[in-house]
Amino acid sequence: MTAMLNVKDLRAYYGQVQALHGLNFSLNEGSLTTLLGANGAGKTTTLRAICNMVRSTGAIEFEGKPIGTRSTENVVRLGIAHVPQGRGTFTTMTVEENLQLGAISRSDKKAIVDDIERMYTHFPVLKQRYTQQAGTLSGGEQQMLAVARALMLRPRLMLLDEPSFGLAPLIVRDLFGILGKINREEKVTILVVEQNAQLALELADQAYVIETGRIVMSGNAKDIANNEDVRKSYLGY
Amino acid sequence: MSAAAEEVVTEAPAVEAVPKRAMTLGYGTSLVVLAALVIIPLLVKNFIIFQMTMLLIYGLAVLALNILTGGSGQFSLGQSAFYAVGAYTSAILMEHVGMNYALTLPIAGVICFGFGFLFGQPALRLSGVYLALATFALATAMPQLLKLGYFEHWTGGVQGLVVTKPDAPFGLPMSQDMWLYYFTLAITIAIYVASVNLLRSRSGRAFMAIRDNEIAASAMGVDVALYKTLAFGVSAGITGVAGGLGAIAVQFVAPDGYTIQLAISLFLGMVVGGVGWLPGSIVGSAFIIFVPNIAEGISKGLSGAVFGVLLFLVIFLVPHGARQVAIVAQQLAAKLKKN
Amino acid sequence: MELFANQVLAGIATGAIYACMALAVVMIYQAIDHLNFAQGEMAMFSTFVSWQLMQWGVPYWGAFVLTVAFSFAAGIVIERLLFKPLAKAPILTNVAGFIALYAIINSVAGLIWDFTIKQYPTPFGSSPFLGSQLISTHQAGMIGITLLMLVLLFFFFRYTRVGLAMRAAASLPESARLVGINTSWMIALGWGMAAAIGSIAGMMIAPVVFLEPNMMLGVLIYGFAAAVLGGLSSPFGAVVGGFLVGIFENLVGTYIPGVGNELKLPIALALIVTVLVVKPAGLFGRAIVKRV
């Protein structure tokens, strides 16, 4: 397997505060990787740095191309979809318009129409509400919409920032099931940042643990799940 | 590391969220500025003293807007109306009632406070551009109301009223201009100190909580409606005192002196001085008093364009106004100390 | 009763002016989430450009098209040159920038074309419309053009990808970038479109108020008021708001005693504010659902 995303010595800054202190990691094509860590460890910053939404230095390569200096929209146009924390729903627009926006950088009109239908089969709840203002959806529905919107890009890589945040456990199960399915069936490489470590490790095949802006552990998700330190700190048993 | 973190705090880009510590000057700088304000008039001509008086008066009006916008996050294009009410209150009390000029000022302040507080009630339902439009309506209505025939006996209608300039009391050997300057300076300092204390008080914290997040503020038990209207009242009250002083200094009130243009000037003064930074008010005031004259001096036909270009230059160089200059200076000073 | 009907009709005629301007206001608001105080001046300048072209012998519709194209380009240039550098500056600093732009354009137009009043032609003629003394063919034409622009804008925002992208960029820039929209250019495009629509408004308004550098002062204020009244997020609301403001203004002038021309504005504004207090998002504005 080849590395799809390669990150070397990534450092990120908020004003004069450094949030990442030289991160190195890579994602294999077709993998589902999770990035674990406590609050403030730098998980969100890592995702934001990949999309150039925060000032950073270091080398980021996507499919062999350096992307560190590209603007956010140009990173996205390479096929990297980012579902941000808080979902970033266009609340004043309808559900369908949100989906169309996901595909705004594509020009294959016919395929877009098909993809919207496909999203409705993945997420039936969205179909019932397609003319509804997206802001009126529940939290879980908005998260579904955010994932669907990201998929409308037909991404090669999908970055998810705490998709389980604020959702009921049952809905989280649903959502993670769908993510696994997308990863397997549509061959989308996924990097998911999570606080719900148990669930993330069940789902993922690779895992990284990040602490105060540094990667402290990496490997197979099963091995990580069995690691004693990780169990104590993140899984609570 | 902790020093670096602190610098970031003062550098935070959102002008809407100035921390209260950053709203004022340090003691040393304050004393230097104060000394300059006290000494300079002794050395210059009467006309310049008059201009410095106006500088303080507009400074007060900008300060008032700063408390409203920088403090409580509400926006107003209607300050000229409060200024007008203050000016007319002083003028009418002096000329029709024969009251001492100094006594008219607190009355102007109180009347404007009430007026602002009342206006704050409907304004509660509005924010952003809607509030701008509402206050704008107030500003355009004011000169017209002052011209109305019903009030002409008191206001002098379109002609306005002439106000007598007071002499220095107790036989002090000072020109009228100089006395008025020191009188204004004393009031300005008193209001400035009171404003600083207000923003540092419980009410000030309430203002800022509302500015930063209204919903969260109300969840913490801040009476949002009360404090928002209170901010309007305080701002209007200070503007009213400034208006009263302005009437005495200019010796004249007329409806066309208080148009929307004045409100826009005060707004520009606030932006140039730095929104939410109280000492910047005086810098902003200097900008709106002197820059139009400079522009006129550079080109008579194109004075508007020159003014516009100068304004653009200022906001390009220091988008956060004079506050930004102060912060940079502070950081430089800190660096020099370290080395 | 006939007086009332006539005043309403006259109100609709003046309202068309405000509706035209309000449409331009909503356009820029959609793009930059702000009211541009210099918009009236930009429209005035465009109108002068078209007048100048006609003086040089260009026929009306030729000058019209050239002016719209010029304004579109000029709007983009102004944004790139003056407001892109302020993109990260606080909102109120941007507002100060609008005021500066206002001063510059007004002053330059005064220098080039001076402050005397100029006649401006209308392509629709100025005979009474359908025999009514209150509404002229020009005003009817203006209403027609306004409605046409409204329909075009509606389709643009609702059914084109660029329109959708512009709305997204205006409402949530960060999310818009995350779906691959170049938000910075969307803003420039919004300026261009607003300037173009403003130029059409200016060319429609000029035959009524005459051409001079301060011609847009009152119109812009009513235009703002109309846009705010109708709801800033709705081009349709802006047009309806424009007509309502025109009618308001006329009725106030007719039925409230002692109201001269000068008090009409504050009273009309006060009425609008009253409406806003009751309906803070405007008559047709979509209330935004907020989740905390």
Contact B315, B284 (CB under 8 A): no
pLDDT at C261: 65
Is residue C185 in a domain? yes
Residues of B within 8 A of C90 (CB-CB) are 13-16, 275, 319-320
pLDDT at C1: 67
Average pLDDT over residues C275-291: 66
B40–chain C nearest CA distance, Å:
31
Total domain count, chain C = 1
Tell which wins on pLDDT, A17 or C199. C199
Taking all residues of chain B, what is their mean pLDDT, rounded to a whole number?
A: 81
pLDDT of C291 higher than 50: no
* C174–chain A Cβ distance below 8 A for any pair: yes
pLDDT band at B14; cut points 50, 70, 90: very low
pLDDT in tens, C89-121: 888 888 889 999 999 999 999 999 988 888 888
- How many B-C residue pairs are in contact by the CB < 8 A criterion? 134
Average pLDDT over residues C264-290: 70
C-alpha–C-alpha distance, residues B113 and B98, integer Å: 23
A48–chain C nearest CA distance, Å:
10
CB contact under 8 A, A17 and B7: no
pLDDT of A153 higher than 80: yes
Nearest to A149 among C179, C288, C289 (CB): C179
pLDDT band at C259; cut points 50, 70, 90: low
Average pLDDT over residues B94-106: 83
pLDDT band at B22; cut points 50, 70, 90: low
Is residue C285 in a domain? no
Is residue C121 in a domain? yes
CB contact under 8 A, A84 and C180: no
CB contact under 8 A, A73 and C233: no
C-alpha–C-alpha distance, residues C276 and A31, integer Å: 54
pLDDT at B5: 30
pLDDT at C91: 83
Is residue C218 in a domain? yes
b/e code B252-281 from CB counts within 10 Å (16+ = b): ebbbebbbbebbbbbbbbbbbbbbbbbbbb
pLDDT of B2 higher than 50: no
Total domain count, chain B = 1
ipTM: 0.87
Residue C95's domain comprises: 16-228
Nearest to C179 among A74, A92, A104 (CB): A104
User: CA angle, corner A142, sides to A137 and A143, nearest 5?
Assistant: 155
pLDDT in tens, C46-78: 999 999 999 999 999 999 999 999 999 999 999
Neighbouring chains of B at 3+ CB pairs under 8 Å are A, C
pLDDT band at B9; cut points 50, 70, 90: very low
Is residue C269 in a domain? no
Average pLDDT over residues A50-76: 88
pLDDT band at A57; cut points 50, 70, 90: confident
pLDDT of A61 higher than 80: yes
pLDDT in tens, C202-220: 999 898 888 988 888 778 8
Distances (CA, A) of C238 to B132, C35, C225: 18, 13, 9
User: CA angle, corner C104, sides to B277 and B63, nearest 5?
Assistant: 20
pLDDT in tens, A115-132: 899 888 888 888 888 888
* C248–chain B Cβ distance below 8 A for any pair: no
Is residue C66 in a domain? yes
Is residue C128 in a domain? yes
What percent of chain C is predicted at pLDDT more than 90? 29
Residues of B within 8 A of C102 (CB-CB) are 308
pLDDT in tens, B182-208: 888 988 989 988 888 888 888 888 888
Domains of chain A are 3-235 (3.40.50.300)
Nearest to C96 among B129, B305, B315 (CB): B315
Tell which wins on pLDDT, B149 or B297. B297
pLDDT of B259 higher than 50: yes
CB contact under 8 A, C269 and B268: no
pLDDT at B12: 30
pLDDT of B256 higher than 70: yes
B320–chain A nearest CA distance, Å:
16
Q: Which of residues 5-34 of B touch A (CB under 8 A)?
A: 5, 7-8, 11-12
Q: Which residues contact A150 (CB under 8 A, 6 or more apart)?
A: A81, A82, A83, A102, A158, A160
pLDDT of A165 higher than 90: no
Nearest to A76 among C178, C289, C290 (CB): C178
pLDDT of C127 higher than 80: no
Give one word for B163, left, alpha or beta, with left for phi > 0 and alpha for psi -120 to 50: beta
Interface test with A, best of C160, C175, C284, C286 (most A CBs within 10 A): C175
Interface test with A, best of B2, B8, B10, B11 (most A CBs within 10 A): B8
- How many A-B residue pairs are in contact by the CB < 8 A criterion? 12
Residue B302's domain comprises: 2-338
pLDDT at C290: 45
Helix (H) or strand (E) holding A18: strand A17-28
What percent of chain B is predicted at pLDDT more than 90? 10
Average pLDDT over residues C228-251: 86
